[in-house]
Amino acid sequence: MDPNEFGTSTIPLQHAPYGPITAEALQNKNAGKIAVVTGAGQGIGAAIAEALIKSGATVAILDLSVEKQQKTQEACESYGGKVKAYACDVSNQDAVVTTFDEIEKDLGTIDILVNNAGILVQRPLIMSDFDTFWKQIEVNFKGPLLSIHTLLPRMRDRGHGCIINIASRSATVDVPMTLGYVTSKAALTRATHTLQREMALDGLDPAIHLYALHPGGVLTGMGASGAPKDVQEKYGNPKDEEYFKGLFKDPPILCGQTCAWLATGEGKDLRGLYIGKKYLLSWWCSSS
């Protein structure tokens, strides 16, 4: 592992929920709130949904199909919370508006939005079908913006809300063969800060608070799939799953519990920022 490529931390990193983001510390702190989590069928999205349920929220989970979310729904229900699954393509405006309307009819007004849905195609641009490349921008950047564009006016009218955009370390580094992913995550990160400043223009800062959250080094199916065979034949695949396991040390629940904590509003000093577990831990230690 080259430390110059991905950097190293000057403080010990936590790889499990700690301090204010444990389930015990957050018990009932989101009670009475309605949350939406996109890309909730597995991995990080499922963990976010479970953490919000454990903190007392009612949760709407979204993915391309309801069936894909069965395990997530069952896990959430095992904690005694209320959860409902919806099928939604987050890159389709009509689908997003219709789904959000349905959620508010079924569950109530939405207080928390977590934009987690994302896709990654490991292929250099020169070997890519452009539509396939662009679909990453559609899901990873257009999708969150459609959800925000749909929900933000409703939050404005109610005078409160929390929006968490799941970003990535990829927003800050150059990783060949992931152009669609890194650029979409970089755009989402900048959009988060800009939208927070727009809230200030309307006198809604910090009542409406937004975050771009780096979820940690979580080894998901998306990140561990490797490059397609034709790409490996041309370029090799030095950054394969084994290479990245040195970075992927975090369970999904670390991100899930962080989202549940941000949703409480206790971390509003971090609003508008790109934050990760190292920065959050440093902030918590300095403010404790």
Active-site annotation, residues:
181
CA-based nearest residue to 224, from 240, 246, 247: 240
Can you tell me the distance from the alpha carbon of 37 to that of 39, in angstroms, rounded to the nearest whole number? 7
Nearest CA to 264 among 37, 27, 63, 90? Answer: 27
For 160, list phi and psi in degrees, rounded to 5: -165, 165
**Secondary structure of 136-172 in HEC code, one letter for each residue:** HHHHHHHHHHHHHHHHHHHHHHHCCEEEEEECCHHHC
Q: Which amino acid is at 283?
A: W
Structure tokens at 216: 């940690």
Element containing residue 34 per DSSP (H, E): strand 34-38
